[in-house]
Structure 1
């Protein structure tokens, strides 16, 4: 007789994946993760299920908790328990029908994850079919807190682009063994010429398609082995940055309107902290700590990056400290990223950032469909100013002035190659750094 039990392996706080273990005497003993998860405090280890009641201490007695939070937790627990009971019944039914010599871990996983095995090897899924399977799996990971919503949004966008591409080509979705260099060329042509996407965006979406194919390969499906050699040619896009001199120009400009002075100060903060606007626009002085470094009072700001969820303790540049002192030790007033993007263009224009500069501006390119795409050309630099310029200016300005390791720590880049691709005019910056070191050597030799 088969025994089906549920447990947590190496339980930790918050969410834990529930594992299932099946046994039949000494015949077999197999374990697999399920699609269910539970908070550690809601797990009944003795009975191998979620708690059906939660008690709390009230007036010296343990009584059933009836708070809204508890009701929500119990509602989730009830649903998880139903799913576990349903899975147990399914395993037992399949066991009765199966050849006992075929019972294995894969047999168990086929019952738990039917969507991964529902398509026989002789009818491997095409690209669109597997993209949907991929999205379904990532959605479950998101529900467990293991994936960001941005991943789901990106995958949905890829699927919609592929659907439009196949409709335009009047062809069925190809098998994953057919994703080759010719497919890449046709896809790139469609994205750039029909959709009006930038080359860099087309490349990023194709990279995501490769990721979907590699995921399929990891799950046992056939893909074109040559896909690993399809290189993503990332074009070098020019993005504007503000130099130290330009930032000083804005810092010294007398803005007559308070909202512009507020936006200008946030711009300075962003350009000297190296963070995304989703992080630095939320800075407040309660995040600041003080410490003596080499005998000098140094201010640090402690926060968790929204995108990476990485905790940082970042030394504040004297330009930021100057703004805090000017504002009675407060950051500039609260502002949305949308308004910030709007106001800093005005800040830059009034501050004299008007030189002609290459770049792209989002415009409506089709009045009928209201399709918006970036149109590249030469514009006054202030028109190209966006919030992302802050972080890029920081990396570009400080590259070579501080160690690459320190710069990567501040900016959040994980490797030097990624940082170099991000920095504008990196070759010129390297040449300048070499010249500085050469001048230093010459000075020493002259002595």
Structure 2
């Protein structure tokens, strides 16, 4: 459901009317605001909305402005209904309003080829997406560049059709890209083409029909017993002690690396719980989702902070965290062969790496998300309500949360066997 409202928000005596777009997507309410070119006076704004007024001048002004608002409202809702709500944001609304008043001017300066437009898309979304997402989009941009070189023909936004997708898939197959890497790239390209459409660029009639399936894979998680092994390691070097503390914080707070590596002591707030007891909570904003989070700090996290005089562990880069975490897990003898995906060199000396499925020692497959996956899987197995667990992870839906459950069908069957012996 979506709606458009008009408001007078200025302190000036004469100003342009503000436009507010409201809609619900995946159970979450969204409100974005822009500015129209409908100019009215503050003095008459209330009178303009008084349907009982008999002042002929006010009635005429009311009719004129209502027509303008109606036309703009129809334009916004038409554009909104033609795209996925997931791409709608403040910049999107501004672009749609600008297109209403200057339909040709907006598209003249925009690139029509896909590679160039990807840079435009990143610039438009720069304040709404994380650096990690920008890096992923730039990787897709490089793949499209190589695809163009391979086919010796430019890919234009208007040509992105089912035929081009099939051609792109075939190219990715030749280049040893996995099904999920290919699907992710096509998903990004489709989103970018839809964004171009909102700015008035021509897109192919088949754009909305484009889809590609992901290959379901079970997330790698650590069992409670494996986590205990990590906790019980002794005589660790300083850098491994540091990464162990970060891992345990990750596991006990259920957060992404983009969030937990930003934790600071001033984010800790004390709140009163049952029977007047004061307990520590962490208050922060998730970088990826923008969710305002308040989560309890466990005794284990507080033990880590207390040994560091109330401070979180030493800062570390994402890359080093992933490298050291694998080393830590190897020291904890987390070496069972498990099925998963990791980057391997396509041939010796090629310096070309692709995701390959296979059986690998488990420590080789762990990454920064393993703490979050392990929290979700291990606590879900305790029959803690998903609604409670989602409050910790910040997932907007149960379906999204369940993607984090690392138990395969075989694992679940083994668990169930105790009830049906």
TM-score (norm 1): 0.64
Which secondary structure does the structure 1 equivalent of 2:254 belong to? coil
2:229 alignment counterpart: 249
Equivalents in 2 of 1:282, 1:22: separation in Å?
44
Which secondary structure does the structure 1 equivalent of 2:211 belong to? coil
2:179 alignment counterpart: 199
1:169 alignment counterpart: 151
2:101 alignment counterpart: 108
2:189 alignment counterpart: 209
CA contact (8 A) 1:274 1:394 kept: yes
Q: Deviations over 1:65-104 (max 9, x none)?
A: xxxxxxxxxxxxxxxxxxxxxxxxxxxxxxxxxxxxxxxx
Please say if 1:346 is aligned against 2:317.
no
Match for residue 415 of structure 1 among 370, 384, 397: 397
Deviation (angstroms), 1:248: 0.7
CA contact (8 A) 2:346 2:353 kept: yes
1:321 alignment counterpart: 302
Distance 1:175 1:261, change over 3 A: closer
2:352 alignment counterpart: 371
1:383 alignment counterpart: 364
Structure with bigger RCO (C-alpha 8 Å, 6+ apart)? 2
Equivalents in 2 of 1:164, 1:325: separation in Å?
52
1:311 alignment counterpart: 292
Deviation (angstroms), 1:148: 5.0
CA contact (8 A) 2:17 2:39 kept: no
Which secondary structure does the structure 2 equivalent of 1:9 belong to? strand
Deviation (angstroms), 1:155: 4.5
CA contact (8 A) 1:131 1:212 kept: no
2:247 alignment counterpart: 267
Deviation (angstroms), 1:289: 2.3
CA contact (8 A) 2:377 2:405 kept: yes
Q: Flag structure 1 segments of 5+ consecutive residues without an equivalent.
A: 34-104, 119-124, 440-447
Equivalents in 1 of 2:270, 2:414: separation in Å?
34
Which secondary structure does the structure 2 equivalent of 1:272 belong to? helix
Deviation (angstroms), 1:150: 5.4
Q: Deviations over 1:170-226 (max 9, x none)?
A: 34536746611x4333212212322x322212101111222234345554745324x
1:331 alignment counterpart: 312
Equivalents in 2 of 1:109, 1:189: separation in Å?
40
CA contact (8 A) 1:363 1:372 kept: yes
Q: Deviations over 1:367-389 (max 9, x none)?
A: 77633333443222222222221
How many residues are treated as equivalent by the alignment? Answer: 346
Q: Deviations over 1:390-429 (max 9, x none)?
A: 1111112112432111212211222122222232125467
Distance 1:385 1:155, change over 3 A: closer
Please say if 1:300 is aligned against 2:281.
yes
2:86 alignment counterpart: none
CA contact (8 A) 2:121 2:195 kept: no
Distance 1:282 1:171, change over 3 A: closer
2:256 alignment counterpart: 276
1:43 alignment counterpart: none
Match for residue 113 of structure 2 among 129, 139, 144: 129
CA contact (8 A) 2:284 2:293 kept: yes
Which structure has the greater CA radius of gyration?
1
Equivalents in 1 of 2:108, 2:39: separation in Å?
21
1:9 alignment counterpart: 18
Distance 1:157 1:213, change over 3 A: same
Deviates more, 1:330-339 or 1:349-358: 330-339
Equivalents in 2 of 1:413, 1:160: separation in Å?
31
Q: Flag structure 2 segments of 5+ consecutive residues without an equivalent.
A: 1-13, 21-31, 41-59, 73-97
Deviates more, 1:251-260 or 1:367-376: 367-376
Equivalents in 2 of 1:280, 1:412: separation in Å?
13
